[in-house]
Amino acid sequence: MKRVGVFVCWCGRNIAETVDIEALCRQLGRDAPVAWVEDYKYMCSEPGQQLMKKAIAEQHLDAVVVAACSPNMHEVTFRLAAEAAGLNPYRLEIANIREQCSWVHRDRDQATAKALDIVRSMVEKVARDEELQPLRVPVTKRALVIGAGISGMQAALEIADAGHEVLLVERQTYIGGHMAQLSETFPTLDCASCILTPRTAEVARHPRIKLMVASEVIEVGGYVGNFVVRIRQNPTYVDWSTCTGCMECVEKCPRQVPSRFERGLGTRKAISVAFPQAVPYRPSIDAEACLYFTKGRCGICQKTCPVGAVDYEQKPVIHEEKVGAIVVATGYELFPKARIGEYGYGKYPDVIDGLEFERLNSASGPTSGRIQRPSDGKVPKEVVFIQCVGSRDQEKGVPYCSKICCMYTAKHAMLYKHKVPDGQAYVFYMDVRAGGKGYEEFIQRAVEEDGVLYLRGRVSRIFPEGSKLMVWGVDTISGEKVEIAADLVVLAMAMVPSPTARDLARVLKVSIDEHGFFSEAHPKLRPVESLSRGIYLTGCAQAPKDIPEAVAQAGSAASKVLALFSSDELLHPPTVVRVDPEICSGCGLCVKSCPYEARQIDPVSKVARVREVLCQGCGACAAACPNGATQHINFTKEQLMSMIDTFTGPPDGAGRER
């Protein structure tokens, strides 16, 4: 017979007012397995814990029930105290007589009777609890960062600088993400390339960062500390290890196509680098545009290459890598513009989106930074910027605020005025959301110093008239309708998750929200963790955010990875499931019921087994098991039945007394 100690907490008046503590203790003291009962006003306080520790030692208790608040509050507190007193922490259980009893009842007698049942059921359980040791799992101190935009690069650099190897995987052929497309950045108007290129160069030469561009993560197995990742490296049709980056091939290539990087405003060759400052500075062939691939003739680049690096036979390569932690930094895209038909996007060449304006304004862009409208190359004198296009639009777009558009629109209008001082910029807005250091002042600068006219309202229609675009809107502040004959219209399109996010979420087995952004574990207290241990989130993959925030979140995600890598082993709770191979029939119901892939059928013995470090202790398989071969440790069928018996047995607990 175990010697169980029961410690009843008053929780000030929270419990004591509704539950008769004295009667409860008296009753419990008569129960057979209970060797010691004590009560205290605040059991969680230091003196309360001391009292429990003393009793464990002096009374030689080998199991403890603390009747107090929810185990969510103080289970850890009391288990640590018990461990300090020499008791196995898994031999301590909490009987919740506050949230599940005193807080929800008024009648003192009935509440006391219920509290007695609750504590007794826990006494029954704890008397059958095993002594357990936490499971220990080794950690692979190597991180995978998916996406090499500013946020992913920052996370990779911080982890690598701390001394760990990082695998940085990027879908495009270059690193830097959308930031590489930007001209200047708010609210300082410093040039994006000037602050980005030192970072891309650092990533490229860092001895501990293994960079994989034109690559995608296609499969993730394993668990925290020990992920096994399969990465597909897509063919670039140029062997980058021999290529010297002389760009002879690009020069000779006869095929010109619209450049994706320039968002169609400029052209590139079928074999090309995305942009002149691209890292790595190596060309790749777009098979959809290349004459060799589409028509089967040409081959000029191969003949031109002085080192014979062009290889039309290149195939995708699958790499398998082991990592301990994963950072997701897949970034954003702009809302599909064709979906906002009333603004004529796609129909009128002079209606462009924000990223296109960035390229027009960029010194390395198709116009070398001169503001010229796409249709006829004229310098626009009247430019209309429209905010919230697709954002805050439940009808056609997304309901959320894309957060960065207010600021970049003010930046666009300002930069335009700096380049075309005799031009006029108009901004249609719904609200100006300029929360951030120096942000409101930036907006005011646009209004007061650069004369940007802000009009509150959403544009209803854009239609061409001669060489102009007529913009119909309203200024709701004055209540007046306004009509502007514009030369160029710039739409601040909503920010949506990267198109690859949905598939990646499936591969990673982490959840995404209704819009496709990765879900954080807690919106306030765990903003960079996913719900799966060892997988962290940063940048616009999680939600729309600007560069400073994306960088800050990257640092935060990196610090989570480093904390994980700071120990050689991870502890895993031992309250997992266990299989009795003698009973197991190998039916496989447990495999189907497990949401964590912790169950599998052993190919040799044909019985089920448990991958303990993956098991989260949910108990779904134990419930599904038809013959009881799978048992949840410390929640065995015997334990649960004995607990139920205390509730369904005689109310006065007859037969328990010694």
Partner 1 sequence: MARGGNAEVIRARAATRSIPLDPGFPWEVGRASGQPVMRCFQCGRCTNGCPLTWAMDHPPHRLLRMVQLGAEGEVLVSRTIWLCSACHGCATRCPNDIHLPAVMDALKQMALARRVRVGDRQVALFHRLFLATVARLGRMYELGLIGLHKLASGNLFGDLKVGLLMFTRGKLSPLPQLIKGRGDLRAVWRRAAALRREGGRQ
Chain residues that interact with partner 1, rule: CB under 8 A:
381-382, 422-424, 426, 444, 447-448, 451, 453, 455, 468, 470, 472, 475, 477-478, 480-485
In angstroms, what is the minimal distance from the CB of 478 to partner 1?
5
* DSSP letter (8 states) at residue 450: S
> Of 448, 402, 400, 452, which Cα lies nearest the Cα of 423?
452
d(CA 314, CA 290): 14
Q: Quick one: 448 or 514, whose CB is closer to partner 1?
A: 448
Q: Quick one: 447 or 591, whose CB is closer to partner 1?
A: 447
In angstroms, what is the minimal distance from the CB of 139 to partner 1?
54
Q: Quick one: 445 or 611, whose CB is closer to partner 1?
A: 445
Quick check: 428 and 455 in contact, CB under 8 A? yes
Helices (H), 306-453: 354-361, 405-419, 439-448
In angstroms, what is the minimal distance from the CB of 479 to partner 1?
9
d(CA 530, CA 401): 22
> What tokens appear for 637 in the block?
């069928």
Q: Which long-range contacts (CB under 8 A, 24 or more apart) does 634-641 make?
A: 634/90, 634/125, 634/129, 634/130, 634/132, 634/575, 635/575, 636/128, 638/128, 639/124, 639/125, 639/128, 639/129
Phi, then psi, of 421 in degrees rounded to 5: -65, -25
Burial of 573 (0-12, 13-18, 19+ CB in 10 A): middle
Q: Quick one: 484 or 625, whose CB is closer to partner 1?
A: 484
Q: Quick one: 158 or 487, whose CB is closer to partner 1?
A: 487
In angstroms, what is the minimal distance from the CB of 458 to partner 1?
15
Q: Give the strand order in the sheet containing 215-223.
A: 215-223, 226-233, 317-323
> What tokens appear for 490 in the block?
């710039």
In angstroms, what is the minimal distance from the CB of 513 to partner 1?
33
Q: Read out DSSP for 285-303?
A: E-TTT-HHHHHS---HHHH
> End-to-end distance of the chain based on CA atoms, in angstroms?
12
> What tokens appear for 549 in the block?
């925030």
Whole-Å CA distances, 607 to 324, 327, 599, 614, 625:
29, 36, 11, 18, 12
Quick check: 537 and 520 in contact, CB under 8 A? yes
In angstroms, what is the minimal distance from the CB of 560 to partner 1?
40
In angstroms, what is the minimal distance from the CB of 470 to partner 1?
7
Q: Quick one: 481 or 522, whose CB is closer to partner 1?
A: 481
Q: 284 has which bridge partners?
A: 272
Q: Quick one: 418 or 506, whose CB is closer to partner 1?
A: 418
In angstroms, what is the minimal distance from the CB of 448 to partner 1?
5
Q: Quick one: 447 or 531, whose CB is closer to partner 1?
A: 447
Where is 648: in which H helix or E strand? Answer: helix 637-648
Question: Can you point out the beta strands (E) in 115-188?
Answer: 135-138, 142-146, 165-169, 184-185
Sequence-distant (6+) residues with CB within 8 A of 478 are none
In angstroms, what is the minimal distance from the CB of 453 to partner 1?
5
Q: Quick one: 45 or 460, whose CB is closer to partner 1?
A: 460
d(CA 546, CA 358): 15
In angstroms, what is the minimal distance from the CB of 194 to partner 1?
31
Q: Quick one: 24 or 469, whose CB is closer to partner 1?
A: 469
d(CA 85, CA 80): 9
In angstroms, what is the minimal distance from the CB of 270 to partner 1?
43
Q: Quick one: 330 or 424, whose CB is closer to partner 1?
A: 424
In angstroms, what is the minimal distance from the CB of 469 to partner 1?
12
In angstroms, what is the minimal distance from the CB of 483 to partner 1?
5
Side chain identity, residue 395: E
Q: Quick one: 291 or 470, whose CB is closer to partner 1?
A: 470
Q: Quick one: 423 or 586, whose CB is closer to partner 1?
A: 423
Quick check: 15 and 106 in contact, CB under 8 A? no
Sequence-distant (6+) residues with CB within 8 A of 169 are 144, 145, 146, 147, 148, 212, 215, 216, 217, 231
Residue 211 backbone zone (phi > 0: left; psi -120 to 50: alpha; other: beta): beta
Q: Quick one: 321 or 475, whose CB is closer to partner 1?
A: 475
d(CA 418, CA 415): 5
Q: Quick one: 201 or 477, whose CB is closer to partner 1?
A: 477
d(CA 508, CA 52): 44
Q: Quick one: 209 or 413, whose CB is closer to partner 1?
A: 413
The single residue listed with the structure tokens 């912790």 is 598
Q: Of all residues in the chain, what percent are helix, strand and coil, respectively (each to 5)?
A: 30, 25, 45
In angstroms, what is the minimal distance from the CB of 482 to partner 1?
6
In angstroms, what is the minimal distance from the CB of 44 to partner 1?
49
> Of 104, 113, 110, 6, which Cα lies nearest the Cα of 55?
6
In angstroms, what is the minimal distance from the CB of 343 to partner 1?
18
Side chain identity, residue 399: P
